[in-house]
Amino acid sequence: GAGVSQTPSNKVTEKGKYVELRCDPISGHTALYWYRQSLGQGPEFLIYFQGTGAADDSGLPNDRFFAVRPEGSVSTLKIQRTERGDSAVYLCASSSLGMNTEAFFGQGTRLTVV
Amino acid sequence: AQSVTQPDIHITVSEGASLELRCNYSYGATPYLFWYVQSPGQGLQLLLKYFSGDTLVQGIKGFEAEFKRSQSSFNLRKPSVHWSDAAEYFCAVGAPEYGNKLVFGAGTILRVKS
C-alpha cells in the first residue's frame, strides 16, 4: 500500500477483555515497530520486528502484551486481560533494511478500556 | 541508554515570528536524530532527519534543525511561523545498533497567535 495502515482506528473495550490491533506496513519494508503513546506523552517503544522475528521486545510492559508477524508483513499486537491503564494510541511504523533509513508511521489505533 | 529532553511543554508565538524548539539528547555515539510533527488526531509526520554529514539539515514546510554535538542538541527552527504550524512537535533519537528503534521526547505543543 501507499502507507502504513492500522486497523481499527478506534477500539473501545471493557476491562478484562482481549484485543487485537493490526498493522499493515509499507510493502517491502522488513522492519516493523510498535509504539504506545499515552495522553500528553511522546511515543514509547514496545517491540521491533526484523522479518518474522521479534528482534527487540524490551518495551513490552508485561506478559499481557504480545505481538506477532508470522509472514514478515502484517503484524498484530495482542493485549490480554486489558486494564484501564492500557488506554492509549498504539502506533505502528515500518522501515526498509539498512543504515540511514527512516520509519514511516501509521495513523494509530486509539484504544480505550472502560 | 538513549534519552531525549524537550524542555518546553508549550510554546506560543505570533504568526510571522520566528520559532525555535529545543531538543537535547543523551547517547554515547553519533545518533540519528529526527523531528516529527503531530496534528490532533493525526499520525506522526517526519519533518527532517540527521544521519551524518552537514550538521544543518533542511526539512519540509520551511523547517530546519542544527545538530550540535558539543551541546548534545538538535533544535528545530523556522524563520516565519504560519497558523497551520500549530501542532505538537516531537524530537526523537535512534541508534542503528538498536535496530533504529526511536526514543522520543515528551513533545512541545506549539500555539500560533494571529
What does the pLDDT look like over A15-51, one tens digit per residue? 999 999 999 999 999 999 999 999 989 999 999 999 9
Q: Is B109 on the interface with A (CB under 8 A)?
A: no
Q: In chain A, what residues touch B49 (CB-CB under 8 Å)?
A: 102
Query: Under a CB-based contact definition with an 8 Å cutoff, are residues B99 and B113 in contact?
Result: no
Radius of gyration of chain B (CA): 14
| pLDDT bucket at B42, cuts 50 / 70 / 90 | confident
More confident: A99 or A25: A25
Mean pLDDT, residues B11-21: 97
Q: Hunting for cell 480505550 — which residue is that? A: A112
What does the pLDDT look like over A70-96, one tens digit per residue? 999 999 999 999 999 999 999 999 998
Q: In chain A, what residues touch B34 (CB-CB under 8 Å)?
A: 102
What does the pLDDT look like over B55-71, one tens digit per residue? 999 999 999 999 999 99
DSSP A38: -
- CA nearest to B6 within chain A: A42
What is the maximum span of chain A, computed from C-alpha positions, in angstroms? 42
Q: Is B44 on the interface with A (CB under 8 A)?
A: yes
Q: Is the dihedral of CA B105, B106, B108, B109 positive or negative?
A: positive
- Residues A30-59: b if buried by 16+ CB within 10 A, e if exposed: bbbbbbbbeeeebbbbbbbbeeeebebeeb
